Structure 1
């Protein structure tokens, strides 16, 4: 079973997060209409669509970037919730979205789902598709008949770090009461983050074969909560495996307890959720008047601290320069007042040098005079009188 690195960040207790795909058209208009209606009905305090900011170094119109919409509302108990929806550019498969909501207190699963703040809670609006598998978040997803397709689908579900995937095995084909999605009994905060997979009676073997890489098995007529990749710390397959699920329209209490307990684990935060959470906290634009004033006060205080630090640095530099100038002046005065020292003593002659000079004189006196061209010696020739 996959393990979680110890240094990996986990979901903060104040955070609600989900990722999905909108496969219809006009996703942005749908979100805007929902937000406007909820604001008019005083369900939310306010919403904002921040203006697009061009990428650094870009000129002119380029590829469209993600659209961001923010909303703020009060959860029960007057707890402020700030949420950010990121809509990726549309593609052939639809439009992926990432939704993060953070409360001022620990998140309560009984609170309304942030998904219904941005998306209409209407089964006909196709915004509720799991990004990893393309399956519905609010319905029953029957596994395909082909064994290879089952294996591929469950492996994708087992690797998904965002939403919670639950596999339910039907011991026998249920009637219409057993076709009701089990997620309807989940707390509101979990209903749009759980994907329910249904395996037919004859698919138990292929399902368990596909899930073998994740270290979990589905009991006959039961269910299992997949660990995701990486698995949360403290995940044990036996704790999140339900031996019997009655598909007769009754509430599956054991399965609901397993899903709720899994959500309470220290689940690893997906890599791309780290940046989304940072932007939610640091790039939030939807501020109240009090928050605007508080932010301006913090900016003024920050600028004052920076100015004070610059002033202190300038004063320290000036003081150091003055001390250096004083030290240089003292050095020059002491150098000018110092008495002149005695002349340097004459170096004694080297004995070797004296012997060399004596030999040169002796050689000069014993040199034979060179005869001139007339056969005379080097002495001056006698003068001849005319």
Structure 2
């Protein structure tokens, strides 16, 4: 018997999704300060700071179909709304979570960010990450959930072969970011050590993590990537790593760059490959799908017009529920009256079950009584 196969959902082209770790002492304070500053500057239309318990209570009072709470490990829920080109509205939620029990102490607070625009996302729009997190090297919000990996910098590949393969597996299976491996043909100077993400458009800049292989790692890095991922890295070149499950349309040769000059100049070919990879249809993981569902169906930061529409919808819904309850009450009353009439019919009005009229059986009397109340439209 052939097995039914279902294709995985893909990330909508209107969405921007990110997940990482904050290693500082008070991540919620960093978010709060940034939101306040951006609203004062007119960058944000508005924002909301919610306790997860308050969020769940609000959802219970004003339910939306399919809405879901962030979960028991959630610490704080932030919402923000802003506008981009041509007055396009962007809505975004950032949730902070306590570390999983299996994680070691000091590995930071996990955050999940889901943003969606009213039309297809443009990589030249501002990054949703910097709407919540300060775009400062001094705030350590940009660590991946994969230990030892960070955005906005170059991450050197592990020296040991087993650790290297483990890093590659984790980055392609667990991370929500785009991972790029660059091999240094020779040790670069200060300008060449600058991460290539600095050349990317704003909304793509915080979706990319760069790994660097030293000159002597050419063979070991190439062997590990071929064995684990089925891709090769040329000496002095770069490759955009596939995801697991693999992006539809990914071709290893297409996303391999033969030569990258690490001299501080713009690596145009590599940047083009990264942009092309980011435009591919991306599989939507279950965690990412839940975050997007919460954004769409558990949204709290309504505009006055949205609040009015929602209130009208709630009035209609409650009116329909009241009508159903009223009809049920009427049907119940009619059924009770029918039962009393049937009882009176069988007892001859004497009120005693044993006193049945001699001209008819109890069954015929019940049938006759209930016939009076039969209504084909009910």
TM-score in terms of structure 2 length: 0.78
Equivalent position of 2:94 in the other structure: 85
Structure 1 pair 298–134 and aligned structure 2 pair: CA distance change class (3 A): farther
The answer (yes or no) to whether the contact 1:155–1:210 under 8 Å persists in 2 is no
In the alignment, is residue 103 of structure 1 matched against residue 117 of structure 2?
yes
Shift of 1:116: 0.6
The answer (yes or no) to whether the contact 2:222–2:234 under 8 Å persists in 1 is no
- CA–CA separation in structure 2 for the residues paired with 1:290 and 1:55: 21
- CA–CA separation in structure 2 for the residues paired with 1:320 and 1:238: 75
Equivalent position of 1:7 in the other structure: 7
Shift of 1:127: 1.1
Write out per-residue CA displacement over residues 85-130 of structure 1, whole angstroms, 9 at most, x where no aligned residue. Answer: 1111264211111111111111111100011111111112211111
Equivalent position of 1:137 in the other structure: 151
Equivalent position of 1:376 in the other structure: none
- CA–CA separation in structure 2 for the residues paired with 1:142 and 1:332: 94
State which of 129, 142, 158 in structure 2 corresponds to 1:128.
142
Shift of 1:133: 3.6
State which of 222, 246, 258 in structure 1 corresponds to 2:273.
258
The answer (yes or no) to whether the contact 2:146–2:175 under 8 Å persists in 1 is no
Shift of 1:259: 1.2
Shift of 1:307: 2.8
In the alignment, is residue 274 of structure 1 matched against residue 289 of structure 2?
yes
User: Which ranges in structure 1 are unaligned for 5 or more consecutive residues?
Assistant: 57-62, 339-386
Equivalent position of 1:114 in the other structure: 128
Bigger shift: 308-317 or 109-118?
Answer: 308-317
Equivalent position of 1:285 in the other structure: 300
Shift of 1:196: 0.2
Equivalent position of 2:363 in the other structure: none
Equivalent position of 2:42 in the other structure: 42
Q: Secondary structure at the match of 2:290?
A: helix
Write out per-residue CA displacement over residues 143-200 of structure 1, whole angstroms, 9 at most, x where no aligned residue. Answer: 2333333222222222234111001111222222221111111111111111100111
Equivalent position of 1:26 in the other structure: 26
Shift of 1:226: 1.0
Structure 1 pair 121–54 and aligned structure 2 pair: CA distance change class (3 A): closer
In the alignment, is residue 308 of structure 1 matched against residue 323 of structure 2?
yes
User: Which ranges in structure 2 are unaligned for 5 or more consecutive residues?
Assistant: 57-71, 100-104, 349-356, 361-378
What are the within-5 Å matches in structure 2 for residues 188-199 of structure 1? Answer: 188-199=202-213
Q: CA RMSD in A?
A: 2.9
Write out per-residue CA displacement over residues 259-313 of structure 1, whole angstroms, 9 at most, x where no aligned residue. Answer: 1111111211122122222221222111122211111111011112223344455
TM-score in terms of structure 1 length: 0.76
